[in-house]
Structure 1
Amino acid sequence: MFGLFKKKSEKEKLQETYAKMMSDAHKLSHSNRTAADKLMAEAEAIAKKMDKF
């Protein structure tokens, strides 16, 4: 309840985006491998940004 109005940090936002992209890439890998690879590459770029924090 006390964290109700707390804003998310940039790192938390990146972590959520990374997790969502990896999940989507995994689902997509069963039907369209090239699109899944593209999503995974974008997710890795986000992972590199997270390492900077």
Structure 2
Amino acid sequence: MFGLFKKKSKAEILQKKYEKLLKESHDLSKSNRMKGDQKYAEAMEVLKEIEALPTQN
């Protein structure tokens, strides 16, 4: 309950966006392959951003 108002880190926000794009990509690949591939490419760009973030030790 105390974490209710905790701000999300940049990594958490990007991870959520990455997962959403992958899901959209998968759903679109069944009906429109080109749009599905575009969403997948967007997801890969977000993944690169996540990997570029400094790691927390």
TM-score range, shorter chain: over 0.9
Whole-Å separation in 1 of the counterparts to 2:42 and 2:25: 10
Which residue matches 1:17?
A: 17
Query: Quick check: 1:52 aligned with 2:45?
Result: no
> Structure 1 runs of 4+ off > 2 angstroms?
none
| Letter paired with 1:51 | E
Per-residue Cα deviation, 1:9-46 (whole angstroms, up to 9, x for no partner): 11100000000000011011000000000000010000
DSSP-derived class of the 2:30 partner = coil
5+ residue gaps, structure 1, are none
| CA RMSD after TM alignment | 0.5
